Amino acid sequence: MATRGLAIAAALATGVDGARIARKKGTSMETESSPDCFSPFDKKALLSLNACSSAQETVAKLDKFGCYILDEPRVYQMGCTEAEVVCGEGAGELEKEGSAQIVTADAGAFWRGSSGVANTFSEGGLGMASDFYSEWRDLESKYARMRAAVEASGGAARLEVAGQSLQGRDMYIVRFRGEGYVHGGPRVFLTFNLHGREWITGMAGIYAVEKLVEKLKEDPSYLAGTEVVMMPMANPDGFLFSTTTNRMHRKNMANVSCSSNPGVDLNRNFDSHWASGGSSNSACSDVYHGPSAMSEVESQVIAGVMKEAPMTVYIDTHSYTQLVISSPGWSRTRDARHTEFRNIGASIVKAIQGSHGLKFTEGPTAATLYVAAGITIDYATDRGALGICLELRPPRYGGGGFAPNKREILPSAEETFAGILASIDYAKDPSSVPPAPTPAPSPPWFFR
């Protein structure tokens, strides 16, 4: 993967240095000379890969043209189909030979127009009547909104600093502790935006804080005997970099031996079957698992919150593909609590579908999506929780991938919160949730 790292470096450098784009601001067109987070992808083609018989050969071919693979696991473990890549050259040749289809000749301009950059928000007050969720928001605007929600909670929520990121930014948690909660009682912990580029998850995290505050104002007894802890921004350094410099940055900002793609993938860095599948030892890889398990300070901060008290449910929120997936990620074997996972998963799917009608796919991570070791949900499951990953909007095909249209922000946040409430209800009383329906048996292979 080293040659690919050099190719990506050249591609991204060319994009930043050559950014001279005409952009629409308000009602007029004006020339913008300063680069933004989409600049590394300006005048580079966005392609969708076709099915391939050999992922290794396909990657070698993409390396040759200096292409950047937006989601490596989909190429290596899902036969390439529909995986997206950005190529500075060779796009026409790849399309001509049938390896890929060109989505747009200018990925930067395409994403800038269809999704948009992260904006500040200065309007005072809370409430869904404001337009906070009509745009992507920057880090400080999200933190300001979170603080305002906590201040308006009347004591139902408490804002705490769980630790600092590698670059020294506070990693906040919002703690909701119901009356009568004791150590060992029902406890739900949620993290959002562990991957920098997954902006839609961070917006859902702020929304969840606001809406749970509202719910507790209406019904102070809702969390009786229960604790809910939310970390709306689990990777502040990586998120900030994705808003200012590289929209597709996934990892944290660790100083590794790859200047073109710094950082460690925090969701491959946890001490649960670390480096045993679905990750890479190449520092240039988007799924670089780091030099050792728990090497990253962000991983340590998150683990510290997990270890404060026993967890009943842990949810890590990601995007995209509309999935509700659970442990195990490291293996396709069944977890000992398979039935419990299917029951809580089915309840979350039902709640999400009841919000805007979208049906999410549910199942174990490795069997439903792909093998991924060293991930947060397996680490939480090892510690007694039901580890769940929500993969939010958009769908796998044609929805905008990691840069969806900003119109998706609010409905995604609404349905995510509905799923969160279902998980809290399950944690409070698993018997209140009907068992998941038994799936129909699969037909013999010769009928498939």
Could you tell me the residue ranges of all domains in the chain?
A: 2-114, 132-432
- Whether the pLDDT of residue 1 is over 80: the answer is no
Mean pLDDT within 307-329: 97
**Mind listing the pLDDT tens digit for each residue in 197-224?**
999 999 999 999 999 999 999 999 999 9
Q: Mean pLDDT in the chain?
A: 89
Catalytic amino acids? 391
**Mind listing the pLDDT tens digit for each residue in 160-183?**
999 999 999 999 999 999 999 999
What distance in Å separates the CA atoms of residue 338 and residue 343, rounded to the nearest whole number?
Answer: 9
Q: How many CB atoms lie within 10 A of CB 18?
A: 13
Sign of CA dihedral 409, 410, 413, 414: negative
Q: Report how far apart, in Å, the C-alpha atoms of 244 and of each of 16, 70, 158, 190, 197 are.
A: 12, 18, 30, 26, 11
- The two tokens of residue 11 are 């591609």
- Whether the pLDDT of residue 129 is over 60: the answer is no
DSSP 18: T
User: Are β-strands 386-392 and 21-25 bridged in parallel, bridged antiparallel, or unpaired?
Assistant: unpaired
Cβ 298 vs Cβ 330: under 8 Å: no
Sequence-ordered alpha helix ranges (H) in 232-386: 236-244, 297-306, 338-356, 365-368, 376-382
Q: Could you tell me the pLDDT band of residue 422, with boundaries at 50, 70 and 90?
A: very high
Share of the chain above pLDDT 70, in %: 89
Task: Tell me what pLDDT residue 124 has.
Answer: 58
When the candidates are 3.40.630.10, 3.40.50.970, 3.10.580.10, 2.60.40.10, the CATH number that belongs to 132-432 is: 3.40.630.10
When the candidates are 1.10.3470, 3.30.310, 3.40.50, 3.30.70, the CATH number that belongs to 2-114 is: 3.30.70
Q: Report how far apart, in Å, the C-alpha atoms of 73 and of each of 237, 297, 350, 361, 415 are.
A: 23, 24, 28, 18, 26
Task: Tell me what pLDDT residue 125 has.
Answer: 57
Q: At what angle do helices 55-64 and 2-17 cross, to 10 degrees?
A: 40
Q: pTM to 2 decimals?
A: 0.90
DSSP 285: S
Sequence-ordered alpha helix ranges (H) in 219-276: 236-244
What distance in Å separates the CA atoms of residue 37 and residue 116, rounded to the nearest whole number?
Answer: 10
- Map 389-400 to HEC letters: EEEECCCCCCCC
Q: Could you tell me the pLDDT band of residue 83, with boundaries at 50, 70 and 90?
A: confident
Q: How many CB atoms lie within 10 A of CB 441?
A: 6
Residue 124 phi, psi dihedral angles, 5° rounding? -80, 160
Task: Tell me what pLDDT residue 21 has.
Answer: 34
